[in-house]
Amino acid sequence: MAASLRAVREAVLDGRMHNTFTRQTQLEALQQTLLDKSDAIQDAILADTSYVASEAAVEYLLTLNTLKEYHKSLNVDRALQDEYAIARGEDAANRRDPMGIVYIVPTSYTVFYSILVAVAGALTAGNCIVIELSNSLQALPVLIKKLLASSLDPKTIAFVSTPATDEDLGPQHMRLHQDNHLPGKVVAVVDRTANINHAAEALVAARFSFGGRSPYAPDLVLVNEYIKEPFLMALVQASVYFLPSAGAIQGDERRQGKEDQEERGGLRVVSSLGRGKIVEGDRLDPKALPDNPADGRLLVHTVRSLDHAIDLSNMVGNLRGAYVFAHEKSAKYLTQFINADVSFVNHIPMEVLVGPTPPKQVALDRSMRYPTTIFSVPRPHYITPTLLSQSVTDILRTKSASTLRSTLVLESSELVSPTQRSLGGGVGFFEQGILTGLGLFSIPILAGVSALGYWTWTMVQNHGSRM
């Protein structure tokens, strides 16, 4: 076992990070280091990626904002109340303890943000940290290691270049593999009631920003056939603003061959401007979508209705996310029946595009990608017995059969009574369709009945005048 890992394990046994003041101090030191090295951090991001300066700045600023949110979540007074709750004769039902060591295997996408937010979340929960960083000639891994080593207590963080075993880490640890993304893809739906220009700008930005590698970039856009042409024009116009970065301009001599191949595959290249391509496909099998769209491709497919969009979306399989652009009532219907882990209506938050997906069974948080609860375990303390506990104890102590029956009758009488439900609800999506259909069907009938009544009344009047 390396000496650094031994020191980290000893810090876990000592409970060095259990103190809330210590956690705050560590986060403050890390934040100050990031502020002091702002230019060096952004230069390293640009050196290792094909980002433009604004994207590097966004990754840096989102990291700082996440550190601030973690720091705000630490409340010394609340921590003291939880610690001494039993001494005051109160329950500590929400008490949690850190895991011990959080072993981080970083992703290759937005490396700076992804590592720093995982470190900050683990620190906030009171853990020590081990990061697996292989030896590399890239600028970011070296810089990240230097920043963390100079900011944090050296006994609470360690780095390894090869995978550490469970024996190396000890019994109190958890592993966070950031590249273990949740399976699934991201689908966007643009209904005929949507703001076309707004939807096009948001989708182009989500697909082409950060090298098109975000796990929340849209893989497929389903657009209503009535607005397909103006929507495609809006996409082309929006893509012009995403000029290729220096590292992304390559392979121009092979572009025509790829486009010819796509034409034969039933896809039509609408535009190759900007950083990627806008491709239209009307004979697409949603199940055959590639895991990683090539060349930052934005794939567009037409749909006939909301139900058609729902069917195609769910045919894709498990959806990591869904973006819906539509009127609120149509959006409610779409998000209700599209099986996506998270849905966004009429907007795409840019902060979601940076960093990895959250672990399985954890809801996506737009501010903090890793809730501190995933780095801790529940350890509730109770001192106050419940009324149910007293009732069960009394029943177990009952010796008389008649007393037991009367006790059970008494307890049963206190159960909840059936809820009185209203007979009808509001007018929903289907109800509106039914009422509209009835209206269209009844209008000709009412018009015919009215005409017949008028004709009958006229005939009666004429017959009366002749008499």
Identify which has the larger pLDDT, 136 or 436. Answer: 136
Identify which has the larger pLDDT, 375 or 243. Answer: 375
Residue 251: per-residue pLDDT: 43
Two tokens, residue 431: 């109800």
Cα–Cα distance, 327 to 323 (Å, whole number): 13
Residue 274: per-residue pLDDT: 60
Enumerate the domain spans of the chain: 1-180+374-378, 185-243+262-347
Cα–Cα distance, 90 to 85 (Å, whole number): 5
Two tokens, residue 315: 């045919």
Residue 173 confidence (pLDDT) above 70? yes
Residue 249: per-residue pLDDT: 41
65-71: average pLDDT: 94
Measured CA distances, 274 to 42, 52, 154, 205, 295 (Å): 23, 13, 45, 11, 11
59-79: average pLDDT: 92
86-97: average pLDDT: 87
Two tokens, residue 367: 């501010």
H/E element, 158: strand 157-160
- Name the pLDDT band for 346 (thresholds 50, 70, 90): very high
Residue 440 confidence (pLDDT) above 90? no
Cα–Cα distance, 353 to 342 (Å, whole number): 13
Residue 105 confidence (pLDDT) above 80? yes
Two tokens, residue 248: 């992304």
Residue 302 confidence (pLDDT) above 60? yes
Residue 55 confidence (pLDDT) above 60? yes
At 393-430, the pLDDT tens digits run 888 887 778 777 777 777 777 667 777 766 655 566 66
pTM of structure: 0.82
- Name the pLDDT band for 134 (thresholds 50, 70, 90): confident
Residue 253: per-residue pLDDT: 42
Two tokens, residue 370: 């890793």
CATH number of the domain at 185-243+262-347, please? 3.40.309.10
288-294: average pLDDT: 61
What's the whole-number average pLDDT of the chain? 84
Q: Give 297-337 as a DSSP string.
A: -EEEEEESSHHHHHHHHHHT-SEEEEEEES-HHHHHHHHHH
At 153-164, the pLDDT tens digits run 999 999 998 898
Determine what percent of the chain is predicted with pLDDT higher than 70.
Answer: 82
Residue 140 confidence (pLDDT) above 50? yes
Identify which has the larger pLDDT, 34 or 261. Answer: 34
Residue 245: per-residue pLDDT: 52
- Name the pLDDT band for 121 (thresholds 50, 70, 90): very high
Residue 246: per-residue pLDDT: 45
- Name the pLDDT band for 358 (thresholds 50, 70, 90): confident
Residue 192 confidence (pLDDT) above 60? yes
- Name the pLDDT band for 113 (thresholds 50, 70, 90): very high
Residue 348: per-residue pLDDT: 95
- Name the pLDDT band for 254 (thresholds 50, 70, 90): very low
Residue 362 confidence (pLDDT) above 90? no
Residue 54 confidence (pLDDT) above 50? yes
Residue 180 confidence (pLDDT) above 80? no
Q: Which CATH architecture has domain 1-180+374-378?
A: 3-Layer(aba) Sandwich (3.40)
Q: How many other CB atoms are found less than 10 A from the CB of residue 324?
A: 27
Residue 131: per-residue pLDDT: 95
